[in-house]
Amino acid sequence: MRTVEIKKNIYWVGATDWDVRDFHGYSTYKGTTYNAYLILDKKITLIDTVKKEFKSDLIHKIRSIIDPEKIDYIVVNHVEMDHSGALPDMMDLIKPEKLICSDMGKKALLAHFHKDDWPYEIVRSGDAITIGDNSIQFIETRMLHWPDSMFSYIPEKKLLFSNDAFGEHWATTERFDDEVPLGELLRHAAKYYANILMLYSRLVGKQLNNISELGLDIDMVAPDHGLVWRSHVKDILDAYSDWSNNRTVNKALVIYDTMWHSTEMMAKAISDGIEKEGVNVRLFNLDVNHRSDVMTEVLDARAIVLGSPTLNNGILPGMAGFLNYMKGLKPGSKIGAAFGSYGWSGESVKIMTQYMKDMKFDIIEPGLRFQYVPDHSQFKECVDFGRRIGKAVKEGD
Ligand code: FEO
């Protein structure tokens, strides 16, 4: 449990959660970190805290540098419990002169902890405070991803504390982006974006423009999860630009749920057809793939092809859950298509198509449905259907 000096007199004092495997529906199969940062200056400042269960880690780390009671200010960039759960105990221990947050942050803190006697200091975008040799500028980032969210920026250090933005759920002992393989890091960042921020892509784009218009000179981005960006700041900013602009690649996903393998066989034949057109395909059986991993692939896929048999005049529960999750995350415009087997009523294709229409996908119609078990000629129809999808994906290049 070591602290890490990320810039002169600025320390990572967060906690590593090796065990968490589910983060409100997101599969955190490699754990996560809850990052907090301690700034030593005339006014000693703590940026964010950690999840309640990890308060001892935070206190221990701070104590290895200074006596926690010496902290003057606590900045709350975001009220969600993974960053504020330890706050009540830290407030009791530290009794800071100021608890700095956005206006929405104060409202959220009151609604969470019901403490109206805390020394709230509300800051707005453009406000700055001097803490000695350093100053902290505040940038509200409403709905990225909560109403209270904000960034804190230290111009003297070219350091942006970005809270959830630019983070990843990945527990490591390494603290910097250049200490781990960049591809794996960006993959975790993509998963984070796809499952937490995707529905706010329009606001992410605006915020990136805002950072550019403010002319912030940034050579380090310190998020509240995962690793600190110092060597690949441009890579993560460019990736956010791509993701928020819904930039897609030559890739189709065939996502399916199956009962007696007929829909699965259709999925494979459709994939063959797509591949024959020179398009990359990924098959996801929802029985064995976690929805949050599928969403990571949705992020830059150009086509989403959904398969489910009909069950009880509806779709299989795995597909229903996935569609509900994906619809909530509002992926940008995609090519969509649906298929599935059925016994007698056969509503599944219509239901999946309607979901995709609601998400403003460009649908390839009619979808494909076959009764019970497809025969040889019907598999050929699946391949042809796949070829139509593949051609549409290529036209998007
Ligand atoms: Fe990491 Fe929105 O909390």
- In terms of Cα–Cα distance, which of 117, 111, 157 is closest to 137? 157
Instruction: Give the residue whose CA is nearest to atom 3 of ligand 1.
Output: 80
Annotated catalytic, 192? yes
pLDDT range class, residue 123, cuts 50, 70, 90:
very high
Model confidence pTM above 0.75: yes
**What average pLDDT does the segment 27-39 reach?**
97
Nearest to 338 by CA among 366, 378, 358: 366
pLDDT given at position 78: 98
- Average pLDDT of the residues of the chain: 97
Determine the average pLDDT of the residues in 254-263.
Answer: 98
**Nearest residue CA, atom 2 of ligand 1?**
80
Q: Ligand 1 atom 1: the closest Cα is on which residue?
A: 164
Q: Express each pLDDT in 34-43 by its tens digit.
A: 999 999 999 9
> 274: which residues sit within 8 A by CB, 6+ positions away?
252, 254, 281, 303, 305, 386, 387, 389, 390, 393
Residue 167 Cα: closest atom of ligand 1: 1
Beta carbon of 51 within 6 Å of any ligand 1 atom = no
pLDDT of residue 396 exceeding 90, the answer is no
Helix (H) or strand (E) holding 272: helix 262-276
Which of the following is catalytic: 80, 168, 177, 257? 80
Please indicate whether residue 397 or residue 210 has the higher confidence score (pLDDT). Answer: 210
Mean pLDDT of 121-144: 97
For the Cβ of 164 lying below 6 angstroms from any atom of ligand 1, the answer is: yes
DSSP codes of every residue in 296-327: HHHTTEEEEEEE--EETTEE-HHHHHHHHHHH
Q: Is the pLDDT of residue 1 over 90?
A: no
| Share of residues in the chain with pLDDT > 70 (%) | 100
Q: What is the pLDDT of residue 120?
A: 98
Q: Is the beta carbon of 264 within 6 A of some atom in ligand 1?
A: no
Chain centre to alpha carbon of residue 201: 11
How much is the average pLDDT of 298-321? 98
Which pLDDT belongs to residue 397?
79
According to the model, what pLDDT value does residue 252 have?
98
Catalytic option among 83, 169, 188, 225: 225
Compute the average pLDDT of residues 43-49.
Answer: 98
- Is residue 34 part of the annotated active site? The answer reads no
Kindly give, in sequence order, each residue whose CB lies less than 8 Å from that of residue 140, ignoring residues fewer than 6 positions away: 102, 104, 124, 125, 149, 150
Question: Among the options 26, 34, 145, 256, which is catalytic?
Answer: 145
Sign of CA dihedral 51, 55, 56, 57: positive
Pairing of strands 15-17, 32-34: antiparallel
